[in-house]
Chains A and B, each alone.
Chain A
Amino acid sequence: MIGEALLDATVSGAILSLKIAVILVPALVLYDLLAPLPVFGRCGRALAPFLARLGMSPPCTVPLAAGLFLGITYGAGMILPIAEEKRVGPGEVQSLGLFLCTCHAIIEDTFLFAVVGAGGPREVAARMLILIGVRLGLAVAVTRGRQVWLGSRSLQA
């Protein structure tokens, strides 16, 4: 009984690791190829005022987008290089983590939760809109709140 459970867990773990590797490796290669393109720099600069309010700088754009659309696990290929390249500070990584903890994989996760017990495509769409709105709103509010709190603490010091 226990042996069977262990074997099942090992096989499931190995399959999950393979699935992650299948997505992660091409994502890492793609990131290395695309990151130097000027379009990402332009996107980062355009989003800079919004990101600054959340305690992040333009280099956080790609990992933020990867986490938001792919999720933290599958977006790891683009989230981890920012730590290795040391282009952003620990405070920014914390803000990024806080935002992504609250809201990530907005397409996949939201669809999975919205489709459970839904009556039809309209109900799924309505549920998805509500869920995306709640998660995004909460992520922005919490990350911005952290910035305001940190700002007030540094003013007091």
Chain B
Amino acid sequence: MVGMAHTLVIETAVLKSAGARVLSLLGYRLLMAVLVGLVASRLLIGAAP
């Protein structure tokens, strides 16, 4: 999960300076971080007790 979404402030600022639409990218990153975190934890670690 943290692999997908970290250093959000600095990285979002860099992408905004580059000209990307950062709000959609930020939303995508947060959503994908939760999704990947959920799926990866179930697959690689196991279900919560």
What is the interface of chain A, defined by CB distance below 8 A to chain B?
20, 63, 72-73, 76, 79-80, 82-83, 90, 93-94, 96-98, 100-102, 104, 109-110, 113, 130-131, 134-135, 138, 142
Complex: A55 Cα to B42 Cα, angstroms: 33
| Contact present for B3 and A80 (CB under 8 Å) | no
CB-defined A-B contacts under 8 Å, sample of 16: A20-B10, A72-B14, A73-B11, A79-B15, A93-B18, A93-B19, A96-B20, A97-B22, A98-B28, A101-B11, A101-B28, A113-B2, A130-B44, A131-B3, A138-B32, A138-B36
| Contact present for A80 and B21 (CB under 8 Å) | no
Q: Which B residues touch A73, using CB under 8 A?
A: 7, 10-11, 14
Q: Which A residues touch B40, using CB under 8 A?
A: 134
* Total A-B contacts with CB atoms under 8 angstroms apart: 65
What is the interface of chain B, defined by CB distance below 8 A to chain A?
2-4, 6-7, 10-11, 14-15, 17-22, 25, 28-29, 32, 36, 40, 44
Complex: A80 Cα to B44 Cα, angstroms: 37
Complex: A20 Cα to B36 Cα, angstroms: 29
Please classify the interface of chain B as helix (H, G, I), strand (E, B), loop, or mixed, using the class held by over half of its residues. helix
- Please give the distance in Å from A69's CB to the nearest CB on chain B: 15
- Please give the distance in Å from B34's CB to the nearest CB on chain A: 14
B3 interface neighbour in A63, A82, A94, A110, Cβ under 8 Å: A110
B20 interface neighbour in A93, A110, A131, A142, Cβ under 8 Å: A93
